[in-house]
Structure 1
Amino acid sequence: MNNLIANYERILEVLRKISKEQLLTYQRRTPKFSDLELVGLSLTSEFMSIDSLMDLFRQLPEAILAKIERSVYNKRRRNLVNHLDEIRLKIASKFNEFEEYFIVDSMPLEVCKLSRSLRSKICKDYSYCYPDKGYCASQGLSYYGYKLHTVCSVNGVFQSVDLSPASVHDIHYLKDIKTQISNCTLIADKGYLSSKIQLNLFETCNIRLNTPMRKNQTNFKKQPYIFRKKRKRIETLFSQLCDQFMIRRNYAKSFSGFKTRVLCKITALTTIQYINKFIFNRNINNIKISII
């Protein structure tokens, strides 16, 4: 795992199979360091838990340093965020094309400590993306920042991801999910309980929302064990994102930088799952493992 260049070449090999080279709209000529190479380096650094650009550029060989500067790398990476999401979706489609069961959940992402929230200027470059104060019931945590909403398959591959201010309730994410998946069963926790939205999802796109009932509800029935067991998969993914990919550590100052960092970490995880499955034919969720 400590061999940066070998890991980089492996990830770049995968990217070249599933994506084409492209130029950003403002680029008039082909840069020395191509877009796919830049994305590959970014995913490699996330896989190897190199979370600082300064630390990454200290470890790069002269052959790469001669092609791109750190500030240019950072700007181009933010501009490639849409291309990065396309790559993630292409990889996910290799796993989830015929999937019938998905899991939905959210996790808190702090941008700074709650005590600094009033004077913080982080991610406040545009009014529509201001962070906010929120509460995570599962962790008993009040925090300042954003909420990461995700949908993954029961095998553990992310299908859909989105960010919202921390104060937005989980259930509002289900209104946006209708354009992304259909004809499936969606497993959720009690935070997504809503008979109105449950009916709407079924009528509009044939999504069967399955949530555990509260004990004081009429005609209470316990959620099937298989659903309760499978829902733990997304909790494991969150733990991997927090541990190896350090998704809760924030160095970004702008929302575009924050969004790029989060998406890059999730794409890196999905890429390693692809390598595990289609190159080494092993358990896709063994993330702390050699890919050389």
Structure 2
Amino acid sequence: MKITRRNLLAASAAFAVTPALAQSTKNMTLVVPFPPGGSTDALARLLQSHLQTKLGRTVLVENKSGAAGSLGAIQVAKSAPDGATFLVTFDSHAVIPSILEKPGLDVEKDLVPVFLVGTAPYVVAANAERPYKTFADVIAACKANPGAVKYASVGIGTLGHLAMTVLAKKAGVEITHVPYRGGGPAMNDVLGGHVDMIIGSAALITAQLGTNRLRPILQLGRERMTALKDTQTAIEAGFPDFETLAWWGIFAPKGTPPDVIADMAKSVKEILSEPAVAAQLRETQQMTLLLADGKEFSTFFAKQVSIWGQVVRENNIKA
């Protein structure tokens, strides 16, 4: 190839923007602390394919479920801080310190917030063969037969579980909680009729609406989502100012170099800002994309730890 000033400038520019992440020859692993089939797993696998292309590295997704999502978090916290391992996790991560007696890690010190992807309202839905059309129907059934109505969540300490605990307390009823290790297993049992209802992120619930086997009865955002325009919000159902949003974020082991953190945040932001990818997350996962970097995510995360930790302590919830 003929060497020209233009070629030299192009090569220099390409070298200058080579991210620290792309310089490593090690495989990158995205650890998901839940089983396959849920929204967090779907997000990780979406990122996997794009990161692989963008960085020129092999990117793997590893599902490490258990202990309210802490097993996967511990694995990442103990990994080398070299940009080879990241945690792609869900809202329950903020509840680990309050719900586990011996969590095995300090979520605010052993892991570094890298990127806050987005949020989505929680939604309560019933097996379509059950008689519940609204949350008022659920409350009436619970009053008639305390403890008989059962709901699934994606795990003890997820915001869905905590939200239902608060709703039941406000309504003065008992609703039996059946926790699962992730969205996939929880949804399977609700669709199969083994559990009456489920509370999950809008991403998990709306994916099943076309089957006619699930009926949404309450959404926990401040306003009705377009996908659930006929479903009441909790505020409309008589729970003033009540809102619960699921969230998804990425963390790295403590000690990961700032340039690696910045490069990962930049890469993920560029991927999720692509119109087709953003549309996919909005349509299939019902996400409101926040695309916030580590500093903003740190502030958000600290508030989540405080708010939901208080709910855990007030209701004496343990994993």
Q: Name the TM-score, length of structure 1 as normaliser.
A: 0.25
Bigger Rg, which one? 2
Q: Which has the higher contact order (CA 8 A, sep 6+)?
A: 2
